[in-house]
Structure 1
Amino acid sequence: MGEILLNTPKREQLLKDGPPMPTRCQILGRGAYGTVFKAIYRDRSVAVKIIRAQAASTLHNESHLLNLEHRNIVRLLKLESAAEFGLVIMECPRGQSLQRIVDALALPLIHRVLITLDVVAALKYCHSRNVLHLDVKPTNVLVALGTKSSGVGNSSKVKRSYICKLCDFGSSIEMGEFCARQEAAIANGTLRYMSPEALRSDNLSEASDIYSLGITMWQLQTRRLPYHMLDCNETIAYQVVKHELRPDSYHQLKILALDNPCEIGPTDSDWDFNDVIYRKAHGPICRNLSLDPSYTAGRDLKKKRRRNRLALHFDSPAPEASACLENAYSKLYKSCWVSAPESRFSSLQLKHELELILCRSAAP
């Protein structure tokens, strides 16, 4: 209902005229290079990203997906381009982005590990096909709910009803390919997950994706936007490269925030994890209906119901993780964001360490 029917005439119209006037039920998401809509293609539900032709490099990057087929990667079904616009038609499993799930729930350690293992599997496969994703972050991980897992190794011993799929290859490159996207990434805020070598426009490698995954793992644990106390992307980029600023550098972040009062974001005491946590990243709120008690109560009830339904997929079969296991998880993501790329864990090493934590956390 409300989905775009991607028959040949409609695709030709979209390629010529661009995105239609959207309705609330049509839009799946908006990015720096295009808008993603719900659609029907060959009698199946899909997602279609409509991109302006000026972003030709994005279409080229998305084409890397044509040669990738993996259970932890969103499948590309068709890519079309014309003089004005391009279309990227992808599978659309039922679920939500990892960003929204982190907004709503505090995930138990065992699920944070399972999610990370899925992303590691996707990256390992991409790297084996000489593709770097270069935009690993929670908004680019789709959690397909209601999907039975058929995990490999220790992850197969834990029952779950979801699978994670890496998506949005608009920043991807082939290994050894020149990448000139850093300036655009800085302007759009993705730099909060970017490795120092990417920020310096140095040669990129598999380690650049591992760095971004390490930042994402930190976010899964803390449920905060990386460097949430700072608004200025240029300041963050400079500090990451020159002074090894990382999301857990709390003392360093407080000093920077005090030196730049206009950059101070919400403090720990102000942060409401059950609200839209990353409201700064999504822009100002246009309407304020908080003075209407009936509206507020109804909205809170709907949010609570959605959160309760979502939580059913992330119940922990094991007791609450010990401080020792949480520390092991923290140590692991810190090993992913060291400055020297050659000193970071490989995807194989990371998989091994994650499975050790999983085995210990699932033990009775």
Structure 2
Amino acid sequence: MRFIGSGAFGSVYEALVADHGKVAVKLVNISHSHTSKARLESFKREVDVLSRVKHANVVKLHGACMVPPNVFIVMELLEGSLRDKLDACRRLDYRATLKLANEIASALAYLHPSIVHRDLKPQNILMDASGAAKVADFGVAKFKQSTYLNTTRGNGTPAYMAPESFGSDKISEKADVFSLGMILWECWTGEVPWKEVQIPFQVVMLVGVEKRRPEIPEDCPKQLASLIQRCWDDDPHRRPSCAEVERRTRLLLHELDAPPAPPAASAANASNAAEESQQTIA
């Protein structure tokens, strides 16, 4: 196995499996501490989610072992995360931002009838060799029993979290829509949201109490700026669904890829053409 990276949860390795070729193996550090028990529950939740879904823009699960001390998940091997990509190129152009939005929205629209991710951020968006985005890391995701789901505070990453996630015991899939808006803003600007804020609680005050949002630069295309602002709406009911975001970005991509329309003939050209036609007939 080849070591890829590590974090608080454990380590990730590249391995070769007969039936699947190269895969990513996520090993978890498990002990008898309370933190390790919570980590194990998070991994069980992730396996539960991934075992039920199949979508081109959701990371693929190959297998898992949840019996300590051998706790690991085997997933498709991907090139890196959106975080890695932004660190390397700083920001995305308009077309790349729309493409990313379309792919993430497509995955979320598929998930949202039954699952809310709750921790959408660049680190949890993985990229394959072709540059396609895949939603990953479902450790704090929850299955919906109704329109809203009961949740606990403290789940997610404050810089990308919706205001209702800070102060409500019930949230909907529209919390993921807010997070998507923050990701799109970061892709266009190349800036991490609220990077000037040192304490997470300050983000809670800025977003949840003062209703503030990051400033959208003047060079942001109007259609993208409008989409981001709608995703950021303080009222979850006024935010678009991810199905709507997918349709909108698909249409905008189609407009970019469509060949330019031929210039319309001016009235003078049309008149000259008519006169030449009359002279020819005469």
The 5 Å alignment of 1:4-153 reads: 26-30=3-7, 32-42=8-18, 44-51=21-28, 52=30, 53-54=36-37, 55-62=39-46, 63-84=48-69, 86-93=71-78, 95-105=79-89, 106-128=91-113, 130-145=114-129, 147=130
**Structure 1 vs Structure 2: percent identity of aligned residues?**
27
CA contact (8 A) 2:140 2:155 kept: no
Q: Which runs of 5+ in 1 are unaligned?
A: 4-24, 148-161, 251-321
Name the CA distance, whole Å, in 2 between partners of 1:362 and 1:249: 25
User: 2:136, 2:45 → 1: CA distance?
Assistant: 12
SS in 2 for 1:74: coil
Structure 2 residues without counterparts, runs of 5 or longer: 31-35, 261-282
The equivalent residue for 1:183 is 154
CA distance in 2, matches of 1:50, 1:356: 41
* 1:209 corresponds to: 176
CA distance in 2, matches of 1:244, 1:119: 25
- In the alignment, what sits opposite 1:245? 212
Corresponding residue number in structure 2 for 1:343? 238
Paired residues for 1:263-302 under 5 Å = none
Corresponding residue for residue 158 of structure 1: none
Residue deviations 1:310-363 (CA, integer Å, cap 9, x gap):
xxxxxxxxxxxx95x712101101100111111100112212221232233334
Amino acid at match of 1:348: A
Cα deviation 1:129-169 (Å, max 9, x = unaligned): x0111111111111112x3xxxxxxxxxxxxxx32111111
Count of residues paired in the alignment: 246
1:196 deviates by 1.1
What is the SS of the residue equivalent to 1:183?
Answer: coil
Residues 45, 140 of structure 2: 8 Å contact kept: yes
Task: Give the greater-gyration-radius structure (CA).
Answer: 2
Please name the residue that 1:171 is paired with: 140
Cα distance change on mapping 1:49 and 1:201 into 2, 3 Å:
farther
For 2:11 and 2:62, the matched residues in 1 are separated by 17
1:178 CA drift (Å): 3.4
Classify the secondary structure of the residue corresponding to 1:73. coil
Judged with a 3 Å threshold, the aligned counterparts in structure 2 of structure 1 residues 336 and 120 are, in CA distance, closer, same or farther, namely same
CA-CA distance at 1:195 after TM superposition: 0.9
SS in 2 for 1:102: helix
TM-score by length of 1: 0.63
Distance 1:184 1:336, change over 3 A: closer
The amino acid across from 2:15 in the alignment is: A
| Alpha-carbon contact 2:163-2:234 (below 8 Å) kept | yes
The 8 Å contact of residues 329 and 357 in structure 1, kept in 2 or not, is answered as no
Instruction: Check 1:360–1:74 CA distance in 2 against 1; reply closer, same or farther (3 A cut).
Output: same
TM normalised by structure 2 equals: 0.80
Contact residue 13 and residue 26 of structure 2 kept, 8 A = yes
C-alpha distance in 2, partners of 1:197/1:84?
A: 37
1:80-114 deviation digits (Å, cap 9, x = unpaired): 11244521111113x22111111222322111101
Residue 29 of structure 1: CA displacement? 4.7
C-alpha separation between the residues in 1 aligned to 2:70 and 2:142?
Answer: 21
Q: 1:231 aligns with which of 165, 177, 198?
A: 198
Which residue of the other structure, out of 311, 314, 327, is the alignment partner of 2:222? 327
